[in-house]
Structure 1
Amino acid sequence: MNREWKVLVIMMALTVPSTLTLAGWQESTANYHRTNSGNSTATGISEQKAIIIAQQHFKGRVLAINQIGHTYRIKILSDQGAVQTILINARDGSVIVAP
């Protein structure tokens, strides 16, 4: 990917969240976009705990978190501009996929 495309992707990643409605944002926890309906699974870990686990593997700003079944999908933007997706088991907090 050439430099212009990288800059465009980073700019889009930084500006798109600001255009979303506040209904999808939880301002008090890290300004990340939530795409699931709850804060935790009935017998599992919370979104906040999943974020902490993900950030132990990849430092950066959380762009989005969503839960599909028993898996949290967390997107993190590094200080260098790389976006990484980390999958966390929502039941026990184990890392499914990390960089």
Structure 2
Amino acid sequence: MTLDDRMRLSQLRHERLRSFFAQSLLHCVFYREHQKVLIIHCPEAWMVDSLLTDLEELCDYAWLILGVEAIALYFAQEEICRVEQYRGQRASSDLRHGIRKQRE
């Protein structure tokens, strides 16, 4: 796998996450810090509110898609919220449960 392949894969993962939170992440800038923390910079306060409302789901999707273990929300260059709880076990069990339901 080349560096270009890795960069494209990373871009596709970010686009996939954005697709699940299209309205609230549309104008946000986000990136992974040390591959473990998803940093999200929101340009407007309503975007932060929207993401806070969906925070548990955002954590689960971020872990499944990007492999991050924490999320930090920023507004006006200040950290508003940081969730460092590892959610991988819950998300993967929900995913397995959902797959099992689809097969029934």
Structure with bigger helix share is: 2
Asked if TM exceeds 0.5, the reply is no
User: If the length of structure 2 is used for normalisation, what is the TM-score?
Assistant: 0.30
Structure with bigger strand share is: 1
- State the structure with more CA Rg: 2
User: If the length of structure 1 is used for normalisation, what is the TM-score?
Assistant: 0.31
